[in-house]
Every structure is written in C-alpha cells, then in structure tokens.
Chain A
C-alpha cells in the first residue's frame, strides 16, 4: 500500500514559484530541490519530507488545474477550485505566457497536431524543457483552433474566450495572423528579426490592411455586402484582398516622369531638414521604385507571403549599405508618402486614392521602419527599446 499524503484547503492555494517552475517544465525532484533552497530550510530528511509532500500536492493541483486552463470559461465556473478572479487571471496569464525565442521559431506555421513533433528537437536547441515547449505549442494551437474561425477583432476574441491580459492577446493575435497568412519567415535574412519585431509588423498590417481594420471599414464604407466579406467574415486575421488588388491603380506613378518628380520632391523635403543628409539620387530612385512595386504586387498571395523577405532585401538592405540613420529612414518614408499625394498626377485622379495610399503606406512604412531597426543601438537590446517607442495604436 502506498503512502497517502494530501493537504486540501478550502481556498485554493497555489505557490506561484512552483507554478512557474512547473510551467518551465521542471521535474518534480528539481522543484523540490529549488523549493528547499528557497524556503531556506535545513537539509534534514524531515524537512525534505515536508517539502516533497508540499511540492507534490502543488503539482497534483496543477495537473488538475491544467484541464481547466485549457478551456478558461470552465475555470471560471469550476466548483472545485475556489479562488479569486484575480488569481484565475494570473494563473491563465502565466499559463499562456510563452518564451519569445522559442515561439519566434514557430511563427508563420500551421498549428496542427501533426506538425508538433518536428518542433520538439528545436526546443532542445533552445535550452527549454520539452514540457514547456509542448505547453506553448499546444496553447497556440488551442487558441488558433478557437479564435481563427471567429469574426471581429481577434485580440478581443482571444480576450473574451481566454481571459488573457491585453498585451498577451495581441501577441497571440499576431501569431495567428502570421499563421493564417502563411507568411514565410525562415531564411538567413530574417534570422535576426525577433518575435517582437514581427509581432509589431503584423500588428501594423492587421490594423491597416485587414478586413477587420478600422481603416478598411472606413475607406471602403463598410463592405458588408461584398462577397469576400461574406465568405471570410470581418476579421483582422484576413487581409483585405480587394484593397490590395486596388492598389494596382497606382501603376501610373511608375511612369518615368512621375517617378522623377516624386524623387525630386522627396529629395527636396529631405534636404529641407537641414541635417546635411544627402543620399545618392540612384538609391532614392531605386527605393521609391521598390516601395511602389511592392505595393502593386502584394495582391498576389505569393508576394504577400514573402513580404518581410522582400522588405528586407529590397529596402532595408540598400538602406543599411548606405548607412542611413533611423531618422533618415523615417524622414524618407514619410516624405515618400506625403509627397506622392502632392503630385499633380495623383491629385487629378479619384479622391478615394488618397485614402488608400495612406492606408497602405501608414502600415507599410511602420513595418519598414521596424524591420530597419537601428543597428547603432545594441542589437541585443533591440527587442526592448523600439517596442517602447513604437506601440500599436489603439
């Protein structure tokens, strides 16, 4: 007969330290050892016994709890765990928090049961316990399964069905966006992009280009009746294809003269800043061209998939080679967006174009800026610093 050793309380008590260790995929022996050290208890068999029983009680509770954590509404109504709402939210938040380095490797994939196995080797490389990886992957899969079919803003959907804090909801929304659009992310060029860079960019795209985005609704005067909407629903996980397709209308800007006058206008603005910054004409022309061509081609889903690779190759790399500063890039991009609208060729056309132009380039420029980053700042810090300055607009 086995030893029975149980401690039950009316108010659920969770040791957050042990919870964290458990989430990290730590094994029971390891947790016991850590706890013993943390509680500053002497190393006697007696206190070991006490700690062991304590830890195994906690772990058993977490195992029971895990089922409920998988479907948060059940956790709210669960009669077995009596705890405060704040505690529930905290537990959920911790459970659904993830390791950004690890999840970076998962971005842009399809999250299914079958795809799981191949990732488990990667996690060994990352130095993360397998259990923890499994949990993180399953969390994404679970949220993806529940939220992707839903309509409306996905971050909000995640929040209502998983009760997570807003920041985490946005993170997951980005993960889902990248997954739904099947954005290609591997490759040497994108290797140094962190999760936050990508999350930031996808937030911009979600807010600017998708069916659920506010601009989308505003510019298109709410396309409730359009076929695309009926098929896919208004969700910020789905790109507004009509919008990207209609970007073809800006083909007129590619004409030689127009391009030239745009370039001139941009140079004028840039030199008007008075920083003594004078980029080469060649580079500027190429940049303007590339910016425009990308806009024109994005309606091909193939082009959309490689959007980040494209930006890195066609825009960010030349800029880096030319050793532009972040301010320069920012000035250039805004000049490009604003000056184009001032062109006569632009003004003579449909007034609707201006709105589309802004909608496209607000999101796009923000992405470019984020992907450019400033290498002058230590790259290691990059995940923190730019995030604080460029926040998703609400």
Chain B
C-alpha cells in the first residue's frame, strides 16, 4: 500500500440549469480512482453548490497511481429517472508523484462534457500521502522520473549527463471502432471511454518510458514528444525523448541567488571555491561548458567513439567540475569501460537548444522516410507489433547517414507518421541534425562561465537589466568552428559544394546548412533572420491504396523532397541567407495528394559563403525577358536584404566566390526537378527559363512574404538578431528614454481547413494558401506591433478526401520599439496613427453612441470639479479614439495607447474612487500565461510544477447552432485553453511553456463533428522579472 490519495470536494459554481422548471440543479459528485468510488451528498436547488465534503481516501498501488487518472463526475440528481451527467473532470496524478511537487493540488477546474463543453467549475483539493520512507524498495522507480516537454535543459536543474534517445510505442483498440458496442451506447459514453483510454495509455506510456530511463541510469526525460496515431488499426501512442541525468539546484533556488553565488565564487580563493563545491555539492556538479576555442572539429571527430571519459559524474576522482556527455550507440563498439547500462540505443537527442560549445560541428540535416503497409495488428501481439521494429529501421538509417558525414550524434531529432488508406499505409519520417558533440567537456575553474543551467538563468537576469526581455542570440564570442564541415571528405550525402570558411579561412564550410535545432549563442551572424517556408503539393495518378499505393508513395517522395529542398535554397538565395535553423518538415499524404511543408528561420551566418547571385538564364536568346526578370530579381533581393539588415556592409556580392574549393563535386547539376526549371551548378545558381515563361511567374511566386518592418516572423523559438542591431536599439533607448516594455505574450493557434481539390477536381495551388495564412497571422498581430512572432510552427494533415488541415501555432512577443530601421520609427508610427484616429471618430461609432458618451459623462463627474470633468472627458474620448483605431483594449485592458507613448488613456470610471470597480487587481492572480516557446521571455521560472499532457475529445451534433465547423473548433479549442490554464493553476503554476497543440483531428459530416485535440507543455511557476508598469500607475 504505497500511497493514499485524499480528495476533498469543496464547491462548484456556474453549473448549468438541469431542472428546467425550477431553473436549478441538484448536483452531487462522484469521485473514482481505479476501482474505488465515493459520492458526495446531493446539494439541492442551487447552481453554486457547496459540499465541503470529508476527505475521500483512496489507497492505491503505484501502477494504478501512474496509469489511472482520478475521475470526478458531476451529476444531477433525479428521483425518478436516472441521474443526468453534468460533466467530468480527469486529474492526472502523475505530476504529484514527483517529489518536489508533492504538495496539494487545488483549484477551480472546469467541468467538461464532451458534447457540451465547459459547464461550470468545481473546486477540489487533492493530497497525496506516501507512507514509505525508503522509496526505492517500495516504489516503482519510474515514478520519480521527471518529464519535460521543453526542448532545452530545464531551468533550475543541472544536467549531469545526457544518455540518449528513449522511446516507446503502445497500441490499443479504439472504442470508437468497436461498432458492436458502439451501437448500444451513447456518443457521450463512447467519448468518455475514449478519453479515459487516452489518459490511461498516456499513463502507461509514461510508466514504461520511465522504466526505460531508470534502466539506463537516467532520472528525467526532456524534449518529450508524444504522438497519437489513429487509424482503423487502433490507437497508437508513441513517445520519444532524451533521457538525461539531472539534479535539482538548491530548493530555494532563485535566479538572483545563483548569479550572486557565481559572482561570489569568482572572488574567493581557489581553496574556498573547492570547499564550496564539496559542501554544496550541487553547484560543484554543475556542468561547466567551455564557451570558445575548442579544437578544430576536424581532428576531434575521428576520436569520438572511444573518447568516452572514464568517470561518470561522481566527484570523487577530483574532476568535480566535469560534465560527461556520453553518447553510446549499439553499432559502436562499446567503450572500454563497458558501461553499457548507461548508453541509449541511438545517440539521438530530441533537444533543440544547446549551450554554447557543446556542439563542435554541424553536419546538416539527416532524415529518413520509410513507407510501410500494414494489416491489422491484433491486440494480443502488441509486443510483436511492427512499429517498434520499423522505427528501429528508420533510426538505423538515420544513424548510418549521420556516420557517413562524420558525425557522432543527431540533435533536434523528431519523428512523425503519416497514415493513409485508413492507416494501412504508414509513412514514417525521422529527421534531425547530424552534429559532432563535444563528448568530454572539461573546463577548469577559471572560466567565467558558470554551468549551463545558470548560464541560462544569468541570461535572463542580464536581459532583465537591459531593456530587452527576450532570450536572443548573443554573439559574444564569435566562433566559426561549429559551422565547419565535420570531416574533410564528403560522401554523396553531403552538400554538393563547399568552400573555405570566410571567418577563419581555414576550415571548409558548406554553401548552405539546414538545421533542425534552434540558433545558439556565439554564432557569427549578420542581420536578422526571417521565416523561410517551402510548400509542395503533388498529385499522383494512382491512389495510395494497398501494396501498390505504398510503392507509388515511396516513388513520389524523393521528388517531393527534392522540390522542397530546391525551394528552400532558392528562397534563401532570394533573401541573401545561407542557414536555416529550426527546420521542421511535415510531409502528409491523402489518398492521391502529397503535401509537404518545410518551415524554419533563415539566417545569414558569416562563416558560410554569401549566397551566390541568382542569374536568370534562358535558352532562347531573346534577351529581353531574362534581363527584365533579372532586374526585377536583383531589385527584390536588394530590398529584402536591406530590410533584414544584410546590406550595409559594402562587400562585393561575389567576394565569396574565390574561396570556393576546387574539389567540389558537380553534384546535382545533372539532376532536374520535375518541372526542370532550376538547377544547381558550381558557378552559382542559375534559373533556367522555360520556353513558356512560366518560370518567371514560378520564381516570383516563390518570393516569400516578408512582413512590414514592425513585425518579424521566425520559424524558430530563438530569434537571431545581430548584436549591432540591438546596440542600435539600445542607443535609441538612451535617446528617447527607456520605453515601456509591454509585458505580455500572446499565444495563438490558427486552424485552417479546405479542400485541396477545386470543383474541377484539380489540385489547387497551395503557395498562395500559405502566403495568405502568413499574412493573416501578421494581420492579427498588427495590434501588438512592433512585435515578433516566434516559434511559428505549421502542422498539416491531409485526410483521405484530400482535405488539407493547417494548424499554425506560435507566440507573439511585442517589442517596445520597432525591431529594425534607424531611430525615429516611433515618430513615424505616431504620425501614422493620428490621421486614422481623426477619420474614424465618426465612421465606426454611430452618432447615437457618441451622443450617449457625451451625455453620460458629466453625470459621473459629480464629485469632482467641472474642470476635472473636462479633463476626464478628454481622456474618455482619447480612449475611445484609441479603441477605434483598432488598438485592442483587451490586451492591457484600458492601457491601449501606452505603446504609442500617449499617456495611458483610462476609462473615467476607473479613475474615480469607485471602490467596486477599482479594487480588483489589474492583473488577475488567476492569469495564466501560455507560451509556445521553451523559455520564459520576460519572467523567471521559479519551478516546474508538472508536465502537461492532455487529450481532449469534443463532439457536436448540432453543428448549425454553433455556426458550423469553424464555430465548433473555436469552442473546442477555447475550452481546451481554459482547461489547460485551470490545470496549471491547480498544480500551482502560472505559466505554460512549450505549449503545443500537438495534434488536432477533425471529422465532420452534415450536422455533426468530432475532434480530438492533444496538447502538451510544461507547467511552471514563473515570477515577473519586471514590475508590471500599470500596477505602479
């Protein structure tokens, strides 16, 4: 009997009316965990019942605790008929298992019904009590494994060792497809059965993967990626993550202290420092990371296999400041020490953010696609299910590719599955960045840099002090080594061309790099990055069905990938960029159509050669058109490069060329893509115009949408912005005074669906679709201008009816001032706003309203003098004007104009001593910030309170009443957001990091719709690192 869960049902509010006649509800609550059920009394005739029940005690086994969610059902009591369900609440108890969080779980949780959405809230209190002091002998060790969704080393923890990839797949029957039973039960109970199954499977998956991690000697999984695949073969849940050994920093950890600590340490004598490290083992164990001057990547790569150090994180051997990144692999001969237990099968890391210096060299993206067909998998032989084997196959191939370009690890690794033909054809995709990681990162005490974890923290602090609030790349130590090719000799998998590094002139670098990881500090960059997106849609003649369909699909894939690649490289050239960070490739297929999307942040890294100029070439010698196009193109490139801050250095475009190596292979010169309009060649990039001149149109349509200067788009979480630009801005701050940094972050989720085939059954052009979507997002973000949109991620899915569903998620971070451009943009901004304000005073607001404003106003100014009334009136008008220029009042509430340096207009009634209205705190304590980024941009993380892992089903049988599928999805998603926020609050957090609506599936017909939403993230407790400006006012 390892644990007792105690549950108390306190009260509910805003319950729906269940008894039409009396307009009331007789509510009671049923609490269930595993097989035990408790019920509360019936609270009669009220919509806000109060139970204040006793503590319901559940004695549970550890497996039950991990796999079974606590189910709370709120019911309406009926004397004669059966009780009606109001809704349910599921509580995942696993987060409470992790020792630091074993406090109580309490808060208002939304009562959710799969058909009707949120119906009121219930306040509960849950406590977990464990009896065993000696945890190891009684507890399943996997209970103590921490899970993080963030793809970085979590703040507040020391990463002692990275183990490698862990994965697990489980399969189960889908209750939705058990049609025999399905006929008999209501949609509600089917949905609930499904939802419960998802929760249980998630729990099981966590338990299994936790066991694996423990077996490998780890104690945490970071960058956890969980996916659900639904087909007629059942439900497949799979998860991958990076197993690591982490250690929590002192519990009273705050960022300020740590920095103080490191500062102190540098001032005390070496002896003291050592003692400090011994006494306070935790800081001593901090992984020290060498920031610069690594040996050249070329030499080190040969040794990576057996350079495994002979210590494993225990400080006895004197190296108490060492970190071991041990990356083993099954194919490798085991290291001499024979520490097989601590090596994961593959040296793949799902982490995307890396500390400076850990990456020695980057080899580029490696990926593997595998098409498999499947007959139905029986429930019994889940263990014989081919999935695990398939993935092994894919990973082995990725591993082989990685080796072939001389790397020792794959970082930023992701896996994805596309199902078609009802799940009988599965396309498995795996991709990552091959890299050479520094396995032995040994650093002596004299380095100023503290541990990685504290570096992160320090970053936050320093940013707090400066005016910029966002973790940006800081190009402190310009190092180019990372970009040198990992080995001198290319294989056929490597980039077609390479040249000498333009920073050090010694290493050889590729022309272009595609990376799945996030930008890291210490890169030699120039200008600003921007979103790069390639989109391909291909229609095949045969449907992807059965064995032949699978063959068809696998034949089509290389062409799709090639087209993607060539689009990306063209776009990079058009913008004068040469590296893509945070590349995400999504390939999905319907029954005939393959849609592929690649998104990332393009960047100009100075180590790599400048992209060659695009030249237009036509076989016909009528020179007018190519010349014309060339001119247009040059102008466009020039303009875009200027916008990105790439042009101010007066450097000849061609200067990169002389350094080109001679040994490069002609590479893809011969290969042509399907339309044959572009080719690679050594001399540069040539666009071959075809006779029908569709090439020119094609090319210009490739030009990506570069939003206006006040909005920046990034595909990655980290925004690479050159130092110089930031300094420029700092200079501007010092001129104009420190601007109010808007403390806010907007997380958005854009869902768009349409048929890929038009009425004539032709495949529609998807380029404008995505362009419009991007424009749309920029348009929505206009109220936050100047701002940047980070972590913009597009996920697509294609149904068998060729319906394309696009899910775009990202975070909008407002900027105090426009990001680039010389000083004075503020003035321009204000000037733009002013005429607008004048002309819309009348247009938007009807005359009657204006009248009412004028007349209501004076009454309210009763207690003041008439002079103050006048002042108030102008303020009122101001705020009205601001609201009608489209500046949202909702963001800051009333503080609409603050961004424009107008004194914040307030509604007059808030300025009075009207106690009722003004007593309320400005920022609600129950406000939960949601960020799709892995880090907090303007606040410091105090602690992680749990991992968010939620599958929510929603069904609607009256689609017309909710304004069609759009209304339905809006309802479903906003309910999900609400539930996620409530869960974070109940766990004691106030922010969700790396929040992702990871999956969204919609099925609808006539008047019915159903959707499954899977969300994940990390719940944290964060602290505002800056006081909220309005609260002072």
Contact = CB atoms under 8 A, between A and B. Distances in A.
B855 A86 contact: no
Contact of B118 (A9, A60, A80, A168): A80
B912 interface: yes
The winner among A54, A86, A168 for most chain B CB atoms within 10 A is: A86
A8 interface: yes
B981 interface: yes
B859 A7 contact: no
Contacts of A40: 836
A83 to B, nearest CB: 5
Interface in B612-648: none
The winner among B851, B890, B917 for most chain A CB atoms within 10 A is: B890
Contacts of B755: 1
A10 B748 CA distance: 6
Contacts of B751: 4-8
A159 B858 CA distance: 18
Contacts of B852: 97-100
Nearest to B799: A1
Nearest to B768: A46
A128 B750 CA distance: 35
A376 interface: no
A351 interface: no
Contact of B108 (A14, A79, A81, A160): A79
A90 B929 contact: no
User: How many residues of A sit at the interface, in one of the four size bands?
Assistant: 35 or more
Given A163-B916, A391-B859, A10 B964 contact: no
Contacts of B916: 159-160, 163
B746 A9 contact: yes
A4 B753 CA distance: 5
A100 B907 contact: no
Nearest to B968: A4
A35 B218 CA distance: 56
Given A4-B1002, A80-B975, A100-B852, A10 B890 contact: no
A93 interface: yes
Contacts of B855: 100, 196, 383-384, 387
Contacts of B748: 7-10
Contact of B749 (A5, A8, A79, A99): A8
Given A8-B974, A20-B884, A166-B912, A13 B121 contact: no
A388 interface: yes
Interface string A263-297: 00000000000000000000000000000000000
Given A6-B973, A80-B118, A82-B981, A16 B884 contact: yes
Contact of B747 (A2, A9, A97, A171): A9
B720 interface: no
Interface in B911-956: 912, 914, 916-917, 920-924, 927-930
Interface string B883-911: 11010111111110000000000011110
A379 interface: no
A89 B907 contact: yes
Given A7-B780, A99-B848, A93 B907 contact: yes
Contacts of B857: 167
A167 B772 contact: no
Interface residues of B, number: 97
Interface in B60-82: none
Contacts of B921: 85
Contacts of B909: 89, 93, 165-167
A257 interface: no
The winner among A3, A5, A49, A78 for most chain B CB atoms within 10 A is: A5
A11 B923 CA distance: 12
Given A8-B973, A86-B894, A394-B863, A20 B844 contact: yes
Interface string A70-87: 000010011111111111
Contact of B892 (A63, A77, A80, A84): A84
A391 B861 CA distance: 9
A14 B923 CA distance: 17
B967 interface: yes
B770 to A, nearest CB: 12
Contacts of A101: 848
A373 to B, nearest CB: 15
Nearest to B919: A85
B264 interface: no
A93 B876 CA distance: 13
Contacts of A1: 753, 755, 801, 803, 965, 1004-1005
Contacts of A83: 890, 893
Contact of B779 (A50, A77, A165): A50
Interface string B973-1008: 111011101100000000000000000001011000
29 contacts: A6-B966, A7-B749, A8-B977, A10-B930, A10-B981, A13-B780, A15-B888, A16-B890, A20-B845, A20-B846, A20-B849, A34-B844, A38-B840, A38-B844, A40-B836, A46-B772, A46-B775, A54-B779, A60-B967, A64-B970, A80-B978, A85-B921, A86-B893, A89-B910, A97-B856, A128-B848, A384-B854, A391-B858, A392-B862
Given A5-B751, A387-B859, 15 more contacts: A4-B754, A8-B749, A11-B891, A16-B888, A17-B884, A34-B843, A38-B840, A51-B779, A57-B970, A79-B978, A82-B977, A83-B893, A102-B848, A383-B851, A391-B858
Interface of B: 13-14, 108, 110, 118, 121, 744, 746-755, 768, 772, 775-776, 779-780, 782-783, 801, 803, 805, 836, 840, 843-846, 848-849, 851-852, 854-863, 866, 869, 883-884, 886, 888-895, 907-910, 912, 914, 916-917, 920-924, 927-930, 963-967, 969-971, 973-975, 977-979, 981-982, 1002, 1004-1005
Instruction: Give the 3 A-B residue pairs with the shortest CB-CB distance, closest first.
Output: A86-B893, A165-B909, A84-B893
